[in-house]
Structures are given as C-alpha cells and as structure tokens.
Amino acid sequence: ENLTLSNNKVLSSISSSMIRQFINMKKLTLHKCELLIKVFNLEDDKPNYNIQKVLPQLKALTLSNLSRLKCLWSKKPQVPFFSNLVSLYIVHCDILKSLFSLSSVKNLGKLKLLKFHNCEKIKEVITNEKHENVSIIFPLMECLVLKDLPKLVNFCQQNETLNWPNLQIVRAINIPSMETFSSGNLNTPLFRSVHITFAKKVWLESLNNTISYMHKNPRM
C-alpha cells in the first residue's frame, strides 16, 4: 500500500486510528499539507486500538514542503516504529529544528538513505534532551545527504559514539554552520570522502576533520 497526501489544506496530523488502518503501508508521502504541525498524533491513542507497532511495513517516507511541521510525533511512541524503514527524505520543512530523539534511533536499524534538503531552521538531526549516554548505531546506513541547511550545527551535539559500519556516501553541500559532524567518536570504516558537489570530493582522514575543513574554507 502507498499513500500520498498532497496539497491537503485540512490535515494537521495522522491519527492513531489512521496508523492502525494503514498497518501494511509501504510508502508514505506528505507534500504541501499546509496545516500539518506533527506527522503522527499519538495523543488520541486508545487501548482498544491495540497498536503493537507503528507502520512496521513502511519502507519509504517523504516529507516535503511542510511549512508548519515541527516534529514527527506528538509524543514518543511506546511501541516499536519504522522497523523496516529504508529511505527517509525531508525537503523544504522550514521550521523543523530536529528529527529524532536519541532513544528513538534504535528503531531505525534498516535505514539506508537519509536526505535533508532546504530545511532552514534544522540545527541537529538527533537531539538528546534526556542526556542519555548511549551509542548511536545505523547498521545499514549507506548514504547521507545534507544540502542547503543554513543552521545545521551538528548531526548530534552530544558526546555519543556514532557507528556507521556501512556508510559510503556523504553529500554535504551548503551547510555553513556545521563545524564538526559530531561531538562524539565516529566509527565509519568504509567511508573515504565527502561529496561537496556531484563531481568534487574532499577527505581529510576523518568525517569530523573534513567537515571542519569545509567550514573554514567555504569557497573551496
């Protein structure tokens, strides 16, 4: 099942009942939903809905041109979610400041592609509001795209270890506020270069060193 909601002028969120209804959905696209503030509203979750997993078959999620989007969830899910998500695109979500909490990353074990493009206010991808001390593991992540993100400071500002055993491609274009990729340790054994255009690559021994060099040399 695929669902695309485009140019919807009344949708403010996807309710728990809709989540239950689309339990087998594989692709979800939300585009130009003017009133959408949060993608999923779990405040209306009721015991009789008996939701054991949130969208367990979802493989592709695209959020684009959502001018009022502030967050994915009204509250953190108490059950597993996105357990089969492979690709996530966030494009032109102008007031979104972060995407995931640190504790929720464990649900994204199948994620291979993560793309952010033209999100004006995003400051970090993963936030650690509870100051948890855990490693961040994306076991299957292969490609990360960060493009035209003027306020992005860090992928994660806390001192967690980032494990990306399969990361091979990073495209980092026009991210002027990012001085380092992560404040913690990075484990990227297969990664060897950052794409700053489709043709040009840069590499200075580590992802953090490379991002720092790009920040100091914006006209390179």
DSSP H or E segment with residue 211: helix 207-216
Domain presence at residue 189: yes
**Sign, CA torsion 51/53/56/60:** positive
Domain presence at residue 57: no
Q: What is the pLDDT of residue 130?
A: 67
Rg (CA), the chain: 17
Look up residue 74 and give its amino acid: S
Which residues are registered as beta bridge partners of 88? 61, 114
How far apart CA 67 and CA 23 sit, in angstroms, is 27
Q: What is the pLDDT of residue 132?
A: 65
**Sign, CA torsion 170/175/178/183:** negative
Domain presence at residue 117: yes
How far apart CA 108 and CA 46 sit, in angstroms, is 25
Domain presence at residue 147: yes
pTM for this structure?
0.91
Domain presence at residue 75: no
Per-block mean pLDDT, blocks of 10 residues, the chain (220 long)? 92 86 92 93 60 86 96 80 95 94 87 97 86 79 97 86 92 95 89 89 92 89
Domain presence at residue 142: yes
Residue 96's domain comprises: 86-216
Look up residue 61 and give its amino acid: L
Total number of domains in the chain: 1
**Sign, CA torsion 131/103/97/10:** negative
Q: What is the pLDDT of residue 103?
A: 80
Q: Which string of DSSP letters, residue by residue, matches the chain?
A: -EEEEES-SS---EEHHHHHHTTT--EEEEE--TT-SEEEE-TT--GGG---SBSTT--EEEEES-TT--EEESS--SS-B-TT--EEEEES-TT----EEGGGGGG-TT--EEEEES-TT--EEEE-TT-----EE-TT--EEEEES-TT--EEE-S-PPEE-TT--EEEEES-TT-S-SBSS-EE-TT---EESSSS-EE-BSBHHHHHHHHHH-TT-
Q: What is the pLDDT of residue 79?
A: 77
Domain presence at residue 45: no
Give helix then strand counts, H and E, for the chain.
Answer: 2, 18
How far apart CA 216 and CA 8 sit, in angstroms, is 42
Domain presence at residue 116: yes
Q: What is the pLDDT of residue 48?
A: 44
